[in-house]
Amino acid sequence: MIYMDNMAGTKPDPRVVAAVTPWITEKYGNPSAHFYPLGRESYVAIEAARASVATMLNAPKAEQIIFTANGTESNNVAIKGYLPTATKLGKKHIIISEIEHFSIQNIFAKLLKDGWEVTKLRVGDSGIVNPDDLKKAIRKDTALVSIAQANPEIGVIQDSVEIGKICKEAGVIYHVDAVASCGRIPVDVQAMNADLVSVAAQNFYGVRGAAALYVSPEVKLKPLFDGGYQERGMRSGSENVAAIVGMGVAADLVTQEMADYAPKMAELGRHFADGIGNMFDFLHFTGSMTKRLPGHVSFWIEFVEGESLLMWYALNNIYAASGSACSSNILAHDEEDLVASHVLTAVGVPTDICAGSMMFSMSKYTTKEDVDKVLEVTPGIVNKLTAMSPHYNR
Amino acid sequence: MGMSPYSDKVMDHFMNPRNMGDLADANAVGEVGNPACGDVMKLFMKIGDNETIEDVKFKTFGCGAAIASSSMATELLKGKKIDEAIALTNQAIVNALDGLPESKIHCSVMAEEAVEAALVDYYNKAGKDVAEIEKMKAAVKATKE
């Protein structure tokens, strides 16, 4: 099996799995139970994980990290948590890019009904926000800018440092969705001048069920849940100790080892892109080829449809992802719920057709043999589908 | 529950599509598209003097369900008379495929529509009254309801 759908979640590092296991089997104490060792050790473990995540993100203090359950929750806690403060300040305008994740887009779609105004910055074919466009879009009543550090579908990396500078100068709160980038490129909250940063363990070799939000001292958040004051009241509810411990170990491994494996992933990504780019003149890469995550290759192929590509790769034991409408929501109850990716639409992929889009995202475990195998089977798959395609004429 | 959102039958027709390709001596060609997702299906039939479908081929741009629906439709059409072909419903295709996910039912509708389009083409080419097709189709729908 060749797993190249790492944007959907990485294989947990065995060292993470080993660290997590005792917190499921024997160390089951509730971290709020401070007065017996079984509980207190859970509390101590969570605080150690907090310090590890803070170090990974270059956060000045561990207490600036709040644990949540996943990236979507971190994004919701960050944005919805900040809005009451913004309202008090008389602000009602928000800026995002048109390629933000659903957990950002859908929050703002609802906010429009509550009188908020949202500007979506265009990205063009490169997928990259022009910082000058951001400068022009900022108004006196702009409360928040939310632009991801990198995009999971097209792999492009934004100029987050420049965006952060602009936000700081304008006195606007800057949220960075770093779920796709963390574990692949450095996520430095201070270098980005970021006020709020979301990361999720499942994207950097941790286990599903733990994520975090960095909150700068500048930001006053209102919690989404009311409860027993866990996470300093910002995220009440019993903590997922095992997953959080795993996230701490995963963060340590990123801090110690990413500089070693990321360049190798980047090299494999280039090898993949060179190989597949030469195969067909009707294959088009999506997003910038230079400012992109290591080991991320995304493209669409004319005359063939994404779900069919995805299925044929899977039949060859190669697991990747597609952004075509057809593959978007197989569990939907209505064809109306099949929608082509808003990210691909933004970078100019013709989504009035079921574009044959594919995304291959590697991990630190991906080998050159894996990439070569994908390259080897690709012509057969594409030829099979073009032979079937009514408008293929080459 | 299987390891695919599709039935084994759908997977079989996706992997081994029946009657895929062009048909040089086709006298009934229908091309239909699905605006919801951009799928395109082209159906070629050779209809003999006795109004029997002697040969049938397809080409389809689309997802697994679209390819399987096209393939299954050709199987169901071969050897049929025109009035039997017009009576082929998308539900019959879905049933023959052991079901499709709800979100993919429209792929089977596309196959049904391709048959109608091809028969309209046949009538046009033969100088026959196309209204006949519509009448037959309406009659089929009426008996269903």
State the pLDDT at residue A112.
Answer: 87
- Region B122-137 average pLDDT: 92
For residues A322 and A359, what is the distance between their CA atoms, to the nearest angstrom? 6
pLDDT higher than 90, residue A264:
yes
For residues B26 and B114, what is the distance between their CA atoms, to the nearest angstrom? 14
Q: What is the ipTM of this complex?
A: 0.92
Q: How far is B82 from chain A (nearest CA, A)?
A: 24
State the pLDDT at residue A108.
Answer: 86
Confidence of residue A318 (pLDDT cuts 50, 70, 90): very high
For residues A18 and A249, what is the distance between their CA atoms, to the nearest angstrom? 10
Chain B residues touching A306 at Cβ < 8 A:
63
Tokens 């919805």: give the residue. A80
Pick from A70-74, A111-115, A252-256, A273-277: least confident: A111-115
On whether any CB of chain B is under 8 Å from the CB of A137, the answer is no
- Region B63-74 average pLDDT: 96
Bigger pLDDT: A227 vs A21: A21
Confidence of residue A113 (pLDDT cuts 50, 70, 90): confident
Do A338 and B101 count as a contact with CB atoms less than 8 A apart? no
Q: Which two tokens stand for residue A63?
A: 């207490």
List residues of B with catalytic annotation.
Answer: 37, 107
Write a three-state SS string for chain A: CEECEHHHCCCCCHHHHHHHCHHHHCCCCCCCCCCCHHHHHHHHHHHHHHHHHHHHHCCCCHHHEEEECCHHHHHHHHHHHHHHHHHHCCCCEEEEECCCCHHHHHHHHHHHHHCCEEEEECCCCCCCCCHHHHHHHCCCCEEEEECCCECCCCCEECCHHHHHHHHHHHCCEEEEECCCCECCECCCCCCCCCCEEEEEHHHCCCCCCCEEEEECCCCCCCCCCCCCCHHHHCCCCCCCHHHHHHHHHHHHHHHHHHHHHHHHHHHHHHHHHHHHHCCCCCEEECCCCCCECCCEEEEEECCCCHHHHHHHHHHCCEECECCCCCCCCCCCCCHHHCCCCHHHHHCCCCCCCCCEEEEEECCCCCCHHHHHHHHHHHHHHHHHHHHHCCCCCC
Class at the top of the CATH hierarchy for domain B8-144: alpha beta
pLDDT higher than 60, residue A354:
no
Dihedral (Cα; A260, A266, A267, A268), 10-degree rounding: 110
As beta bridge partners, residue A360 has: A297
Give φ, ψ of B46 to 5 degrees.
-110, 115
What would the pLDDT profile of A135-170 be if each residue is shown by its tens digit? 999 999 999 999 999 999 999 999 999 999 999 999
Q: How far is A303 from chain B (nearest CA, A)?
A: 7
Identify the H or E element spanning B72.
helix B64-77
- Region A297-317 average pLDDT: 94
Domains of chain A, each with CATH number or no CATH: 12-254 (3.40.640.10), 258-388 (3.90.1150.10)
Q: Which of A307, A309, A391 to mutate to test the interface with B (most CBs of B within 10 A)?
A: A307
Confidence of residue A353 (pLDDT cuts 50, 70, 90): low
Q: Which two tokens stand for residue B15?
A: 């992997």
Instruction: Confirm if A93 and A139 have CB atoms less than 8 A apart.
Output: yes
* Mean confidence (pLDDT) of chain A: 94
What would the pLDDT profile of B22-52 be if each residue is shown by its tens digit? 999 999 999 999 766 788 999 999 999 899 9
B40 vs A130, A138, A392, CA distance in Å? 37, 44, 12
State the pLDDT at residue B36.
Answer: 65
Q: Where are the domains of chain B?
A: 8-144
Confidence of residue A345 (pLDDT cuts 50, 70, 90): confident
As beta bridge partners, residue A5 has: A361
Chain A residues touching B39 at Cβ < 8 A:
305, 326, 354
* Mean confidence (pLDDT) of chain B: 93
Tokens 């996520």: give the residue. A187
Those residues of chain B whose CB sits closer than 8 Å to some CB in chain A are 5, 14-15, 17, 20-21, 31, 36-42, 59-64, 66-67, 101-106
Give φ, ψ of B59 to 5 degrees.
-135, 135
Identify the H or E element spanning B43.
strand B40-47
pLDDT more than 70, % of chain A:
96
Please give the span between the terminal C-alpha atoms of chain A, in angstroms, as a whole number: 33
Bigger pLDDT: B119 vs B137: B119
Do A333 and B17 count as a contact with CB atoms less than 8 A apart? no
Q: How far is B72 from chain A (nearest CA, A)?
A: 15
What would the pLDDT profile of A46-78 be if each residue is shown by its tens digit? 999 999 999 999 999 999 999 999 999 999 999
- Region A131-137 average pLDDT: 98
Q: Which of A309, A310, A326, A393 to mutate to test the interface with B (most CBs of B within 10 A)?
A: A326
Q: How far is B145 from chain A (nearest CA, A)?
A: 22
pLDDT higher than 90, residue A331:
no
